[in-house]
Structure 1
Amino acid sequence: MPAFTRRSFLAAMGAASLTGALAACGGSDDTAATTPASEADIDKAMNTPTELTFWTWVPDIEQEVALFTKKYPAIKVKVVNAGQGTPHYTKLRTALQAGSGAPDVVQIEFQYIPTFTVIDALLDLRPYGASKLKDQFVDWTWAQVSGQNGEVWAIPQDTGPMGMLYRQDIFDQYGIGVPATWDEFAAAARTLHAANPDIYLTNFAANQAAAWHGLMWQAGAKPYVSNSKSDITIDVDGDVAKKIAKYWGGLATEGVIGVETDFTDAWYTALNNGKYATWLTAAWGPVFLSGSAKSTAGKWRAAPLPQWDSAKPSSGNWGGSTSAVIKSTKNPIAAAQFAQFLNSDPESAKMFATKQFLYPPTKALLTDPSFVDEPLDFYGGQAVNKVFADIGDTVNLSFQWPPFLDQVATDFTETVGKALTDKTDAVAALGQWQSRLTTFAKNQGFTVS
C-alpha cells in the first residue's frame, strides 16, 4: 500500500485546513454543500444522458443496477470491480491523490468511511434527499453513515450484527447448553476441550481485528472518539478493552480455544471436520458457512453472542458496506440518486438479500415474514434471519471508527493478535497497540488524547 501520510494526502486533495469534523462524527461548514437541489434540477439531471462509474465488489450487482437504469434510461452505469479489501481501497486512494480516475459512486465498508471523510473525499448527500431515507434504515446503520452535524456520507447496503453459530450435535453429545454469558462460554470451552482434546469451543483468529472491534463494540468500549478532523482520542487499552483481552488471552493461554488464521484452507477444513463447535461471526456468516462447510449441513444453529450483562443484551457489528459518492464527481445529482435508489428501492434492496444474500439494513426487510421467517435447512429449519434481526436491535449506535483503519488492523495483528498466537500477555499487548497507534496518529498530524 502506498505510504501516504495524512498531510500529503490532504495536500494532494487540495485541503488547506484541518478544521471541521472527522468522518461519521464530524461536521462541515460548507453552506453550498447543504443547499438542497431543486426538484427541477433533479429532474433535469436524471433525464440528461450521463454515464456514472460505480466501483463495487458485489457479484452480479448488474441486476440491481438494471432496475435503476430502467427507471432512468438516460443514465448509464459502468460497473467496475476494482478488487475487495485492501486492493479496492488502495486504488481509490491512488485515484484520489492523482486527482483523476476516481469513480462517481463507490462501495465502502462502514469502518472505512472516516478514512475518506477525513480527507474530504465523500459528498454529503443531504442536498439530494438522502435525509428522507433515515427512517427506512436500522438506527445504528444510519448512525454509521451520519456526521455529527447531520451529514449523510453514504447509504447503508448490508450489515453484520454479531451472533454465534454453534454445532447442535456437538453440544448435545457433550452435554453443553447454549452459553448465555461469557462466563458460561468460558466454562463450556474448558469442559468441551477436557472431554475431547481434538475439539475447541471456538477459534479466535489472531489476525481478525474486525472481530475484536465487534466484541469491543458489544462490551461498550469507545476506542476512537473524534470531534474534528484534527483530533482523536485513542483508548484501545482502557478498562473495557482490558476485560476483553484478559478473557480471550486467558482462554488462549489455557489452550481451550483455537487461534489459527481464519479464511484459510486449514480453517475451512476445521469447520468441516468438527474441530470448532462455534463460530462467533456476523449476520453474513450463516450463508457463508453453508457454502464453506457443506458436509455439516443440518448440524448448526444460531444464537446471540454470550453477554457480559444478561440483563442488558447487546451486540457489535462486523462488516457491512455502503454506497458513497465521491466529492469530485461531475454528476453529483445522478450519482446521489443512484446511491439512494440502489439501497432503498424495495425491489433492489430485496434482490441484494435474496440474490447476493447480503444481510439487509432496511427495516422493511427485517420485518418481512418472507425474509425473517424463512426456515434454513442448513440450520435444521431454524429461522436464522430472525435471530440476527433481533440481534441487530441490540447494536449500540455510538461506536466510532478511526480514520486510519489499515494501520489499526496491522498494529492489532502485530501486538494483541501475536499475544494470542504466542499465548503471552494479551493485556500487556494492548499497551503496545495503544502506543503504536498514538505515535502513528501524531505523525499524521492529529492531536491525540
Structure 2
Amino acid sequence: MSLCVALAACGGTAGTGAGNGATGGSASSAPGPVSQAEIDKAMSTPTELTFWTWAPDIAQEVALFEKKYPAVKVKIVNAGQGVPQYTKLRTALQAGTGAPDVVQIEYQYIPTFTITDSLLDLRPYGAGALKNTFVDWTWSQVSGARGEVWAIPQDTGPMGMLYRKDIFDKHRIPVPKTWEEFAAAARTLHAADPDVYLTNLAANEAAAWHGLLWQAGATPYAGSGKSDIAIRVNDETSKKLGTYWGALAKEGVIGVEPDFTDAWYSALNKGKYATWITAAWGPVFLSGAAKSTAGKWRAAPLPQWDASRPSSGNWGGSTSAVTRTTKNPIAAARFAQFLNSDPESAKLFATEQFLFPATKALLADPGYVGETPAFYGGQQVNQVFADISDTVDSTFQWPPFLDRVVTDWTETVGKSLAGKSDTVAALDQWQTRITTFAESQGFTVQEQ
C-alpha cells in the first residue's frame, strides 16, 4: 500500500507550518504568478464555487465577497465539523468528484491533505502578499517547508487560563504565575474544600495536551519530507509534563473527567472547578455554558515553566484552503484570501461568530481588544488573549496521522490520568504505538 493511499485509508491527519515540513505539491511544480489581467478576467466570469464550512451564519461574510465580485457565486455547504468533514473530503478527493473548491480545515489537519497533494499552493494567486496581515505563528502553520501557502488563516486559539476570582479570593489564593505555584494552589484549595478542584485536565482531550506540550517547548513531531518523521512524545520535556500532571491526578487534587459533557457543564456551573485551562475561544463559550457564574470569572495567561520567558501554545482555530481539483483556481484562491483578510469580513468573524482573530489589525484594534464583558467583571479579556497570542511559538509541528495519534493518546496517557496510574510510563506506550503505526504506513521514523 502506498504512503498516500495508506494515509487516506487510515484517516491520517496533520497540520504543520513553514518550518514543520508540510509537504505536497512541490514548489518547483507550482505555476508562475497569475497576472492581474487573468485575475480580472476570472473574477468577472460567471462562476459558482462550492465552499465547505461549519462556521455558523457565514453567509454574511460570503455576501461581502459576492458584492465585490458579483459574477462569482458561492454555494455554502455544511459537510460536518472536523473529522466527519475530513472523512467526506478524503472520499470525494479519492473519487475524483464531489470535492469542494474551498474548504475549512483546522491548522493541525492541513498536512493530512498536503501529504496527498490535495491542496492548491496559493502563492501564484497573490497569497504571499498577505503574510504580514496575519499573526506570525498562524502564517507558519499554513506554510510549507519550501514556501508554499496551503491555506489562509481564519481564527486562532492561543491558550490561557480562566479562573474563578471569587473562589481564589475566598481561599486567599493568588493567581499562579508558574506551574509550581499552580500545583501548590491545587493542593491548598482541595485541602480547604474537598468538593472543589483547581482545574480539570480532561482524560479525553488530546488537543489540550498538545497545547501544553507546545507551551512547554516540546517538539513531539518533525517531518522532513513525505516519508520521514521524528516522533518524540516521550522526550524529556514531555516527561516533565507527564510527571507534573500525573502527580496531581494521582493525588486527587485535580479533576480528570471528560470535557464537553453534561457532567462537565454542571461542574463548571456549580463551582467544582476554579479554573479552566482553555483557548481564546473559551471566554465566549464559557459565558454561554456557565451562565449562572456570570461576573465571577477572570482571564490570565497560562502559568509558566520559566516566568522570564512567557510562552503559550495553541488549541483550535481553522483556515480556508483550496482543493487541487477545483476547476476555478483563481476565483477559489481569491475567495479564500478575501474571506479572511478583508477587514470587514474578518471583523464579522470576530464580532458575529465570536472567532478569535488571526489578523494583526484586529488584535490591535481598541474597539475589539478593549471590550469589557460583564461575565468577566469588565475585564478586557480579548486584550489578555491578544497579548498571549504574541507568545505562541511558530515552530510547533503536527504529525500526518493525527487521528491515530489522538486515539493512542486517549488509550495511554489519557487512560493513565483517568486511572491515576503511571503517566510517564503511558508516554512510553504512546511513543511505541505511534512509532509502530507510522512504520506500518511506510514512514521512516527518525531516532530521538
Root mean square deviation, CA, Å? 1.5
Which residue number in structure 1 is paired with residue 390 of structure 2?
393
CA distance in 2, matches of 1:177, 1:22: 38
Q: 1:104-152: per-residue Cα shift (whole Å, max 9, x none)?
A: 0000000001111111111000000000000010000000001111100
Q: Which of the residues 274, 280, 285 maps onto 1:283? A: 280
Q: Tell whether 2:367 aligns with 1:370.
A: yes
Conserved 8 A contact 1:186-1:251 = yes
- One-letter amino acid of the structure 2 residue matched with residue 329 of structure 1: T
- One-letter amino acid of the structure 1 residue matched with residue 170 of structure 2: Q
Which residue number in structure 2 is paired with residue 144 of structure 1?
141
SS of 1:291's equivalent in the other structure is helix
SS of 2:224's equivalent in the other structure is strand
SS of 1:76's equivalent in the other structure is strand
Q: Tell whether 2:205 aligns with 1:208.
A: yes
Q: Tell whether 2:222 aligns with 1:235.
A: no
Q: Tell whether 2:195 aligns with 1:198.
A: yes
Matches within 5 A, 1:61-210: 61-210=58-207
Q: CA deviation at 1:93?
A: 1.2
Which residue number in structure 1 is paired with residue 344 of structure 2?
347
SS of 2:317's equivalent in the other structure is strand
CA distance in 1, matches of 2:130, 2:363: 16
Residues 9 and 242 of structure 1: CA distance in aligned 2, closer, same or farther (over 3 Å) = closer
SS of 1:107's equivalent in the other structure is strand
CA distance in 2, matches of 1:7, 1:41: 33
Which residue number in structure 2 is paired with residue 264 of structure 1?
261
Q: CA deviation at 1:217?
A: 0.3
Which residue number in structure 2 is paired with residue 252 of structure 1?
249
Which residue number in structure 2 is paired with residue 426 of structure 1?
423
SS of 1:319's equivalent in the other structure is coil
SS of 2:237's equivalent in the other structure is helix
Which residue number in structure 2 is paired with residue 43 of structure 1?
40
SS of 1:329's equivalent in the other structure is coil
Q: 1:217-260: per-residue Cα shift (whole Å, max 9, x none)?
A: 00000000011011100000000000001100100000000000
SS of 1:339's equivalent in the other structure is helix
Q: 1:260-290: per-residue Cα shift (whole Å, max 9, x none)?
A: 0000000000000000000000000000000
Which residue number in structure 1 is paired with residue 14 of structure 2?
none
* Runs of 5+ consecutive residues of structure 1 not aligned to the other structure: 13-20
Which residue number in structure 2 is paired with residue 334 of structure 1?
331
SS of 2:154's equivalent in the other structure is strand
Which residue number in structure 1 is paired with residue 307 of structure 2?
310
- One-letter amino acid of the structure 1 residue matched with residue 71 of structure 2: A
Which residue number in structure 2 is paired with residue 18 of structure 1?
none
- One-letter amino acid of the structure 2 residue matched with residue 219 of structure 1: A
CA distance in 2, matches of 1:247, 1:349: 39
CA distance in 1, matches of 2:3, 2:66: 38
Q: CA deviation at 1:417?
A: 0.1
Say how many residue pairs are matched.
438
- One-letter amino acid of the structure 1 residue matched with residue 391 of structure 2: T
Conserved 8 A contact 2:7-2:112 = no
Which residue number in structure 2 is paired with residue 15 of structure 1?
none
Q: CA deviation at 1:25?
A: 3.5
CA distance in 1, matches of 2:172, 2:266: 24
Alignment TM-score, normalising by the size of structure 2: 0.96
Q: Tell whether 2:414 aligns with 1:417.
A: yes
Which residue number in structure 2 is paired with residue 226 of structure 1?
223
- One-letter amino acid of the structure 1 residue matched with residue 366 of structure 2: P
Q: CA deviation at 1:88?
A: 1.0
Q: 1:126-185: per-residue Cα shift (whole Å, max 9, x none)?
A: 000000000010000000001111100000000000000000000000110000000000
Q: 1:305-335: per-residue Cα shift (whole Å, max 9, x none)?
A: 0000000000000000000000110000000
Runs of 4 or more consecutive aligned structure 1 residues displaced over 2 Å after TM superposition:
4-12, 21-32
Conserved 8 A contact 1:167-1:301 = yes
CA distance in 1, matches of 2:268, 2:177: 22
Q: CA deviation at 1:26?
A: 3.7
CA distance in 1, matches of 2:189, 2:6: 51
CA distance in 1, matches of 2:356, 2:3: 33
* Residue identity (%): 74
- One-letter amino acid of the structure 1 residue matched with residue 289 of structure 2: S
Q: 1:338-380: per-residue Cα shift (whole Å, max 9, x none)?
A: 0000000000000000000000010000000000011111000
Conserved 8 A contact 1:23-1:114 = no
Conserved 8 A contact 1:24-1:144 = no
Q: CA deviation at 1:33?
A: 1.6
SS of 1:357's equivalent in the other structure is coil
Q: 1:362-417: per-residue Cα shift (whole Å, max 9, x none)?
A: 00000000000111110000000000000000000100001101001000000000
Alignment TM-score, normalising by the size of structure 1: 0.95
Q: CA deviation at 1:99?
A: 1.4
Conserved 8 A contact 2:3-2:227 = no
CA distance in 1, matches of 2:277, 2:7: 38
Which residue number in structure 2 is paired with residue 296 of structure 1?
293
- One-letter amino acid of the structure 1 residue matched with residue 311 of structure 2: S
CA distance in 2, matches of 1:238, 1:34: 41
- One-letter amino acid of the structure 1 residue matched with residue 167 of structure 2: I
Matches within 5 A, 1:19-38: 25-26=22-23, 28-38=25-35
SS of 1:317's equivalent in the other structure is coil
Conserved 8 A contact 1:104-1:325 = yes
CA distance in 2, matches of 1:293, 1:367: 29
Q: Which of the residues 418, 441, 445 maps onto 2:442? A: 445
Q: CA deviation at 1:100?
A: 1.1
SS of 1:228's equivalent in the other structure is coil
CA distance in 1, matches of 2:37, 2:259: 52
- One-letter amino acid of the structure 1 residue matched with residue 246 of structure 2: G
